[in-house]
Amino acid sequence: MSPLLVVSRKSRLLAFAGAAVVTVAVAGCAGDGQSGLPTEIPEPPATAETTPETAEPATTSAVPAVAIGEVPGSPEAAGALRAWATDLVAGADVASRCWTVDPGHARDMYTDVDAITAAIAQPGRDGRYTVFWTTDDIRVSVLRSEIASGYACPYVSAPDDDVFTGTDAIHNVVRALDRATGNPVDAGDNEQRYPLVCDGRETWDPYGTGVPGVPPLASEPDVFAEVTSFDAEAATFWAMSDEYAAVTVPVVEAGTARDLEVLVTTGANGYCLGEVS
Protein backbone atom coordinates (compact mmCIF):
# COMPACT_ATOMS: atom_id res chain seq x y z
CA MET A 1 0.00 0.00 0.00
CA SER A 2 1.48 3.38 -1.00
CA PRO A 3 0.97 6.37 1.37
CA LEU A 4 -1.37 9.16 0.25
CA LEU A 5 -2.89 7.10 -2.57
CA VAL A 6 -6.40 8.43 -3.31
CA VAL A 7 -9.00 6.36 -5.08
CA SER A 8 -12.47 7.61 -6.04
CA ARG A 9 -15.35 5.21 -6.39
CA LYS A 10 -16.60 5.82 -9.92
CA SER A 11 -19.73 3.78 -9.81
CA ARG A 12 -21.85 1.72 -7.51
CA LEU A 13 -23.30 -1.47 -8.76
CA LEU A 14 -25.16 -4.08 -6.83
CA ALA A 15 -24.28 -7.55 -7.84
CA PHE A 16 -26.79 -10.19 -7.28
CA ALA A 17 -26.31 -13.91 -7.25
CA GLY A 18 -27.93 -15.50 -10.38
CA ALA A 19 -31.35 -17.05 -9.70
CA ALA A 20 -32.43 -20.33 -11.27
CA VAL A 21 -36.00 -20.47 -12.57
CA VAL A 22 -37.69 -23.84 -12.46
CA THR A 23 -40.85 -24.58 -14.48
CA VAL A 24 -43.10 -27.44 -13.43
CA ALA A 25 -45.65 -28.93 -15.86
CA VAL A 26 -48.76 -30.41 -14.31
CA ALA A 27 -50.99 -32.76 -16.32
CA GLY A 28 -54.74 -32.58 -15.65
CA CYS A 29 -57.15 -35.52 -15.96
CA ALA A 30 -60.55 -35.09 -17.68
CA GLY A 31 -63.62 -37.34 -17.19
CA ASP A 32 -64.85 -39.71 -19.96
CA GLY A 33 -68.51 -38.71 -19.71
CA GLN A 34 -69.59 -42.14 -18.38
CA SER A 35 -70.94 -43.14 -15.00
CA GLY A 36 -71.38 -46.54 -13.33
CA LEU A 37 -70.06 -49.54 -15.26
CA PRO A 38 -68.21 -48.65 -18.45
CA THR A 39 -70.11 -49.39 -21.66
CA GLU A 40 -67.13 -48.96 -23.97
CA ILE A 41 -63.82 -50.72 -24.05
CA PRO A 42 -61.20 -48.08 -23.30
CA GLU A 43 -58.27 -47.51 -25.61
CA PRO A 44 -55.13 -49.27 -24.43
CA PRO A 45 -52.67 -46.97 -22.69
CA ALA A 46 -49.78 -45.60 -24.66
CA THR A 47 -46.66 -47.71 -24.42
CA ALA A 48 -43.27 -46.39 -23.39
CA GLU A 49 -42.41 -46.10 -27.08
CA THR A 50 -45.22 -43.62 -27.73
CA THR A 51 -43.85 -40.09 -27.92
CA PRO A 52 -45.86 -36.88 -28.46
CA GLU A 53 -45.17 -35.30 -31.82
CA THR A 54 -44.17 -32.04 -30.19
CA ALA A 55 -41.53 -33.55 -27.87
CA GLU A 56 -38.02 -32.24 -28.42
CA PRO A 57 -34.94 -34.38 -27.75
CA ALA A 58 -33.11 -33.48 -24.53
CA THR A 59 -29.82 -31.71 -25.00
CA THR A 60 -26.96 -31.18 -22.58
CA SER A 61 -23.94 -28.95 -22.79
CA ALA A 62 -20.78 -30.34 -21.26
CA VAL A 63 -18.58 -27.92 -19.34
CA PRO A 64 -14.94 -29.00 -19.25
CA ALA A 65 -13.66 -29.90 -15.82
CA VAL A 66 -11.48 -27.17 -14.33
CA ALA A 67 -8.32 -28.38 -12.65
CA ILE A 68 -7.80 -26.87 -9.21
CA GLY A 69 -4.69 -27.50 -7.16
CA GLU A 70 -5.37 -28.93 -3.73
CA VAL A 71 -4.44 -26.84 -0.68
CA PRO A 72 -2.76 -28.62 2.23
CA GLY A 73 -4.58 -27.66 5.41
CA SER A 74 -7.64 -26.33 3.58
CA PRO A 75 -9.43 -29.27 1.92
CA GLU A 76 -12.58 -27.25 1.10
CA ALA A 77 -10.72 -24.54 -0.82
CA ALA A 78 -10.37 -26.34 -4.15
CA GLY A 79 -14.04 -27.28 -4.33
CA ALA A 80 -15.24 -23.77 -3.48
CA LEU A 81 -12.97 -22.21 -6.11
CA ARG A 82 -13.94 -24.86 -8.68
CA ALA A 83 -17.59 -23.80 -8.43
CA TRP A 84 -16.59 -20.28 -9.44
CA ALA A 85 -13.99 -21.34 -12.01
CA THR A 86 -16.47 -23.63 -13.78
CA ASP A 87 -18.77 -20.65 -14.32
CA LEU A 88 -15.83 -18.52 -15.47
CA VAL A 89 -14.74 -21.08 -18.09
CA ALA A 90 -18.34 -21.54 -19.23
CA GLY A 91 -18.54 -17.82 -20.00
CA ALA A 92 -20.96 -16.89 -17.22
CA ASP A 93 -20.98 -13.35 -15.83
CA VAL A 94 -19.20 -14.30 -12.62
CA ALA A 95 -18.62 -10.65 -11.70
CA SER A 96 -22.37 -10.20 -11.18
CA ARG A 97 -22.43 -13.20 -8.87
CA CYS A 98 -19.51 -12.00 -6.76
CA TRP A 99 -21.18 -9.24 -4.75
CA THR A 100 -18.48 -9.36 -2.05
CA VAL A 101 -16.15 -7.80 -4.63
CA ASP A 102 -16.61 -4.40 -6.28
CA PRO A 103 -18.31 -5.20 -9.63
CA GLY A 104 -16.02 -3.07 -11.79
CA HIS A 105 -12.92 -4.41 -10.07
CA ALA A 106 -14.19 -7.98 -10.47
CA ARG A 107 -14.67 -7.56 -14.22
CA ASP A 108 -11.16 -6.16 -14.55
CA MET A 109 -9.66 -9.00 -12.50
CA TYR A 110 -11.51 -11.82 -14.25
CA THR A 111 -10.62 -10.88 -17.83
CA ASP A 112 -7.67 -13.22 -18.49
CA VAL A 113 -9.31 -16.63 -18.18
CA ASP A 114 -6.28 -18.55 -19.49
CA ALA A 115 -3.92 -16.96 -16.98
CA ILE A 116 -6.35 -17.60 -14.12
CA THR A 117 -6.90 -21.27 -14.99
CA ALA A 118 -3.15 -21.79 -15.36
CA ALA A 119 -2.58 -20.38 -11.88
CA ILE A 120 -5.32 -22.28 -10.08
CA ALA A 121 -4.12 -25.56 -11.55
CA GLN A 122 -0.98 -25.19 -9.43
CA PRO A 123 -0.85 -26.49 -5.85
CA GLY A 124 -2.45 -23.93 -3.54
CA ARG A 125 -1.02 -22.47 -0.34
CA ASP A 126 -2.67 -21.49 2.91
CA GLY A 127 -1.41 -17.97 3.66
CA ARG A 128 -1.87 -15.52 6.51
CA TYR A 129 -5.13 -13.99 5.34
CA THR A 130 -5.98 -15.91 2.17
CA VAL A 131 -5.61 -19.21 0.39
CA PHE A 132 -3.84 -18.60 -2.91
CA TRP A 133 -2.58 -20.12 -6.14
CA THR A 134 0.19 -18.50 -8.14
CA THR A 135 2.40 -18.54 -11.22
CA ASP A 136 5.22 -16.20 -12.15
CA ASP A 137 2.67 -13.79 -13.62
CA ILE A 138 -0.48 -14.00 -11.55
CA ARG A 139 -1.79 -14.67 -8.07
CA VAL A 140 -5.35 -15.85 -7.32
CA SER A 141 -6.34 -15.29 -3.68
CA VAL A 142 -9.46 -16.39 -1.82
CA LEU A 143 -10.76 -15.30 1.59
CA ARG A 144 -11.75 -18.00 4.06
CA SER A 145 -15.26 -16.57 4.31
CA GLU A 146 -15.57 -17.16 0.56
CA ILE A 147 -14.43 -20.76 0.94
CA ALA A 148 -17.01 -21.29 3.67
CA SER A 149 -19.75 -20.02 1.32
CA GLY A 150 -19.00 -22.80 -1.17
CA TYR A 151 -18.60 -20.34 -4.07
CA ALA A 152 -15.24 -18.63 -3.72
CA CYS A 153 -14.91 -15.33 -5.60
CA PRO A 154 -11.17 -14.61 -5.77
CA TYR A 155 -8.94 -11.57 -5.95
CA VAL A 156 -6.54 -11.62 -8.89
CA SER A 157 -3.29 -9.65 -8.80
CA ALA A 158 0.34 -9.72 -9.83
CA PRO A 159 2.34 -11.93 -7.43
CA ASP A 160 4.16 -9.01 -5.80
CA ASP A 161 1.23 -6.56 -5.67
CA ASP A 162 -1.11 -5.97 -2.74
CA VAL A 163 -4.04 -8.38 -2.89
CA PHE A 164 -6.54 -5.72 -1.80
CA THR A 165 -6.88 -2.23 -3.26
CA GLY A 166 -8.49 1.05 -2.28
CA THR A 167 -11.50 0.06 -4.38
CA ASP A 168 -11.94 -2.99 -2.16
CA ALA A 169 -11.79 -0.82 0.97
CA ILE A 170 -14.47 1.51 -0.38
CA HIS A 171 -16.66 -1.43 -1.37
CA ASN A 172 -16.54 -2.89 2.15
CA VAL A 173 -17.41 0.43 3.78
CA VAL A 174 -20.30 0.87 1.35
CA ARG A 175 -21.49 -2.66 2.16
CA ALA A 176 -21.51 -1.77 5.87
CA LEU A 177 -23.57 1.35 5.13
CA ASP A 178 -25.89 -0.65 2.88
CA ARG A 179 -26.56 -3.00 5.77
CA ALA A 180 -27.10 -0.13 8.21
CA THR A 181 -29.65 1.54 5.94
CA GLY A 182 -31.57 -1.69 5.37
CA ASN A 183 -30.44 -2.31 1.79
CA PRO A 184 -27.70 -4.95 1.89
CA VAL A 185 -26.03 -5.70 -1.42
CA ASP A 186 -27.33 -9.25 -1.02
CA ALA A 187 -29.86 -10.81 1.33
CA GLY A 188 -27.11 -13.04 2.71
CA ASP A 189 -24.71 -10.20 3.44
CA ASN A 190 -24.52 -9.99 7.22
CA GLU A 191 -21.79 -9.68 9.81
CA GLN A 192 -22.04 -13.27 10.95
CA ARG A 193 -21.41 -14.78 7.51
CA TYR A 194 -19.23 -12.02 6.02
CA PRO A 195 -17.48 -10.02 8.78
CA LEU A 196 -16.57 -6.44 7.88
CA VAL A 197 -15.54 -5.18 11.34
CA CYS A 198 -11.97 -5.82 12.46
CA ASP A 199 -11.31 -8.51 15.06
CA GLY A 200 -11.56 -7.41 18.68
CA ARG A 201 -7.88 -7.90 19.43
CA GLU A 202 -5.55 -5.31 20.94
CA THR A 203 -3.67 -4.62 17.73
CA TRP A 204 -5.38 -1.40 16.59
CA ASP A 205 -3.01 1.60 16.35
CA PRO A 206 -3.76 3.69 13.23
CA TYR A 207 -1.97 6.80 14.55
CA GLY A 208 1.24 4.99 15.51
CA THR A 209 1.07 5.71 19.22
CA GLY A 210 2.85 2.52 20.13
CA VAL A 211 -0.02 1.59 22.46
CA PRO A 212 -2.38 -0.63 20.44
CA GLY A 213 -5.92 -1.27 21.58
CA VAL A 214 -9.14 -2.95 20.49
CA PRO A 215 -10.70 -1.46 17.34
CA PRO A 216 -13.54 0.81 18.55
CA LEU A 217 -16.02 -0.62 16.06
CA ALA A 218 -15.54 -4.06 17.58
CA SER A 219 -17.41 -2.82 20.66
CA GLU A 220 -19.65 -0.26 18.89
CA PRO A 221 -21.41 -2.26 16.15
CA ASP A 222 -24.30 0.21 15.86
CA VAL A 223 -22.20 3.25 15.08
CA PHE A 224 -23.91 3.64 11.66
CA ALA A 225 -27.43 3.28 13.05
CA GLU A 226 -28.40 6.93 12.44
CA VAL A 227 -27.14 7.05 8.85
CA THR A 228 -30.16 7.33 6.58
CA SER A 229 -28.48 7.88 3.20
CA PHE A 230 -25.04 8.22 1.64
CA ASP A 231 -23.32 8.95 -1.68
CA ALA A 232 -21.27 5.86 -2.58
CA GLU A 233 -20.09 7.38 -5.86
CA ALA A 234 -18.37 10.21 -3.97
CA ALA A 235 -16.48 7.88 -1.61
CA THR A 236 -12.69 8.27 -1.52
CA PHE A 237 -9.74 6.30 -0.17
CA TRP A 238 -6.37 7.47 1.06
CA ALA A 239 -3.52 5.51 2.61
CA MET A 240 -2.47 6.76 6.04
CA SER A 241 0.49 4.35 6.24
CA ASP A 242 1.52 0.93 4.99
CA GLU A 243 -1.04 -0.68 7.30
CA TYR A 244 -3.92 1.78 7.73
CA ALA A 245 -6.13 3.80 5.41
CA ALA A 246 -9.22 6.00 5.53
CA VAL A 247 -12.41 5.86 3.48
CA THR A 248 -14.52 9.02 3.39
CA VAL A 249 -18.19 8.90 2.38
CA PRO A 250 -20.71 11.79 2.33
CA VAL A 251 -23.66 10.73 4.49
CA VAL A 252 -26.83 12.09 6.04
CA GLU A 253 -26.80 11.14 9.70
CA ALA A 254 -29.61 12.05 12.11
CA GLY A 255 -30.81 14.57 9.53
CA THR A 256 -27.41 16.27 9.14
CA ALA A 257 -25.12 15.99 6.12
CA ARG A 258 -21.48 15.30 6.89
CA ASP A 259 -18.41 13.44 5.65
CA LEU A 260 -18.08 10.11 7.42
CA GLU A 261 -14.47 8.93 7.73
CA VAL A 262 -13.89 5.24 8.46
CA LEU A 263 -10.42 3.92 9.29
CA VAL A 264 -9.60 0.53 7.83
CA THR A 265 -6.83 -2.04 7.67
CA THR A 266 -6.35 -5.44 6.05
CA GLY A 267 -7.17 -8.63 7.91
CA ALA A 268 -8.61 -12.10 7.58
CA ASN A 269 -11.61 -10.76 5.64
CA GLY A 270 -9.86 -8.29 3.39
CA TYR A 271 -10.22 -4.64 4.36
CA CYS A 272 -11.92 -4.44 7.76
CA LEU A 273 -13.52 -1.43 9.47
CA GLY A 274 -11.94 -0.44 12.76
CA GLU A 275 -12.90 3.10 13.71
CA VAL A 276 -15.01 6.10 12.79
CA SER A 277 -12.87 9.20 13.20
Mind listing the pLDDT tens digit for each residue in 74-131?
999 999 999 999 999 999 999 999 999 999 999 999 999 999 999 999 999 999 999 9
- d(C-alpha 71, C-alpha 123), whole Å: 6
Whether the predicted pLDDT of 57 surpasses 80? no
Mind listing the pLDDT tens digit for each residue in 153-206?
999 999 999 999 999 999 999 999 999 999 999 999 999 999 999 999 999 999
CA distances from 196 to 18, 190, 207, 232, 271 (A): 23, 9, 21, 17, 7
DSSP-derived letter for residue 197 is B
Q: What percent of the chain has a predicted confidence (pLDDT) above 70?
A: 77
The topology (CATH level 3) of 165-276 is Nuclear Transport Factor 2; Chain: A, (3.10.450)
Domain extent listing, the chain: 77-157, 165-276
The model's pTM:
0.77
SS3 253: strand
